[in-house]
Amino acid sequence: MADLIEERFGSRYKFCEAAGIDPGQLSRVFASRAELSLPALQKILHVLGAALVIQAEATVEAKASPEEASRALAAATA
């Protein structure tokens, strides 16, 4: 999420202004000292144009495995 914020807004402060989120709260979340409520998460995702996708761990692990990454890289460079 931090990468999307930097890419699309240039700074966390500008993002917080656009999303109506308290910058201190976002900093606490990134520092693992606080959690987001579901409404806050929904607002953040909407402003970022992002979506939360829930999948089984096995599916995610298979897609993120080193073997799958090697196959995808080989296909992209072929």
pLDDT in tens, 22-44: 999 999 999 999 999 999 999 99
Q: Which of 17, 36, 18 is nearest to 26 (CA)?
A: 36
Structural domains in the chain, CATH included, are 2-77 (1.10.260)
31-65 burial string, b = 16+ CB within 10 Å, else e? eeeeebeeebeeebeebbeeeeeeeeeeeeeeeee
User: For residue 69, what pLDDT is reported?
Assistant: 82
User: For residue 68, what pLDDT is reported?
Assistant: 84
User: For residue 57, what pLDDT is reported?
Assistant: 87
pTM of the model: 0.64
pLDDT tens digits along 9-25? 999 999 999 999 999 99
pLDDT tens digits along 54-69? 989 888 887 778 888 8
